[in-house]
Amino acid sequence: MRCWTSIVLVLAGCGSSSDDSPGVRPAGESLYFSKGCAACHGARGEGSFMGPPLSNVPARWKRDELARFIADPAPFVERDTRLRELASAYRTPMKPSPMSETERAALADFLLSER
Ligand code: HEC
């Protein structure tokens, strides 16, 4: 974990980031594309016919819950009416996405820092 953090910080040092939390954004952002999130949620989280826009994420999600949701949405959708309605508005509900805990956390941080 400690190692990972410093690797990320080194990478962040190479790019220019206007974000408050440097180090988190580059890893999370590339995962957003490599894990296929952009296919449904759009390159900028603007949404598409396959998935809702990812706006207001910080208002709706706590970091640890978001990290768990990303890996396995079903249990959250089951007990959250808003998510259920959202899921039924799209062709296919969001599927579980296999990834490591570090990846989930980086993605959650990215989504929380983004908008
Ligand atoms: C197959 C299309 C698809 C893919 C791929 C996908 N999603 Fe989703 N996503 C959805 C749909 C549909 C919903 C609505 C709720 C549900 O179905 O669980 C959703 C809901 C969400 C939400 C909750 C939005 C809210 O209003 O609270 C977040 C956050 C999210 N997705 C992030 C991600 C991330 C991060 C990835 C990549 C790991 C991803 N999604 C991959 C379709 C997708």
d(C-alpha 46, C-alpha 13), whole Å: 28
pLDDT tens for each residue of 11-45: 444 444 444 555 555 799 999 999 999 999 999 99
Contact between 12 and 23 under an 8 Å Cβ cutoff? The reply is: yes
Predicted TM-score of the model (pTM): 0.83
For residue 67, what pLDDT band results from cuts at 50, 70 and 90?
Answer: very high
Sign of the CA dihedral 19, 41, 101, 64? positive
How many domains, in total, are found in the chain? 1
CATH number at residue 95: 1.10.760.10
Q: In a mutational test of the pocket of ligand 1, which residue from 24, 32, 33, 41 has the highest number of ligand atoms less than 8 Å from its CB?
A: 41
CA of 16 to the centre of ligand 1 (A): 28
User: Could you tell me which residues come within 8 angstroms of residue 109 by beta carbon, excluding any fewer than 6 positions away?
Assistant: 21, 24, 25, 28, 63
Q: pLDDT for 83-107, tens place per residue?
A: 999 999 998 999 999 999 999 999 9
